[in-house]
Amino acid sequence: MTESIIDHQGYRANVGIVLVNQQGKVFWGRRVGMSAWQFPQGGVNPNESIEQAMFRELREEVGLLPEDVEIIGCTRRWLRYRLPKRYIRHSQRPLCIGQKQRWFVLRLTTDEQRVDLAAAGEPEFDQWRWIEYWDSISLIVPFKREVYLRALSELAPLVAKFTDVGSLRMPSLPDRTAG
């Protein structure tokens, strides 16, 4: 396995994938052996473009090929989040303190039966389902919530143009500063 890229600030280069069906719902996968659900994502390897990393992760985690999807767009810049202290591997060099991600939104252009979580051998997800576009904000682990909100907010106008949902207005979210 190739080492992924960690920058001088300690952020690992990563791609995130928002896979959207024609109804505007998004792919949501459960990590193998965990109760955590998320969008497909993974590290960028040295000598690999961001788009190449995205297609590799799509194949590894979801079993889909480039001809199964259409790229609708991606975030304009890196979106960062820090890992909680308990997840930082202090013995690892270079030290990784978080992820910097470029998010892609893809439209599924084939039958969803082509999704194959075991296509790459060792599955990273053991279940998947379609959820409403904005539901991931409340369902994702808290330390990833802000980056999900920023990515989905930037990508929503692109998704609305290519699906049957028309407008994707962000719902009112509970005040996260209270309590």
State the pLDDT at residue 177.
46
Residue 155 lies in a domain: yes
Q: Give the pLDDT of residue 169.
A: 60
Give residue-wise pLDDT tens across range 80-93: 998 888 778 877 78
Inside any domain, residue 172: no
Residue 178 and residue 23: Cα distance in Å, rounded? 34
Residue 37 contacts residue 30 (beta carbons within 8 Å): yes
Into how many domains does the chain fold?
A: 1
Domain containing residue 113: CATH number: 3.90.79.10
Length of the chain: 179
Question: Which tens digits make up the pLDDT trace of 126-178?
Answer: 999 999 999 999 999 899 999 999 999 999 999 888 765 555 565 555 454 44
| pLDDT computed for residue 178 by the predictor | 44
∠ CA 4-10-11, rounded to 5°: 60
Residue 79 maps to a domain: yes
Distance of CA 74 to the CA centre of its chain: 11
Residue 164, pLDDT score: 57
Sequence-separated (6 or more) residues with CB below 8 Å from residue 86: none
pLDDT, tens digit (0-9, with 9 covering 90-100), for 11-55:
999 999 999 998 889 999 999 999 999 999 999 999 999 999 999
* SS3 category, 108: strand
Model pLDDT, residue 120 = 84
* Predicted TM-score of the model (pTM): 0.88
Look up the domain containing 105 and give its range.
11-162
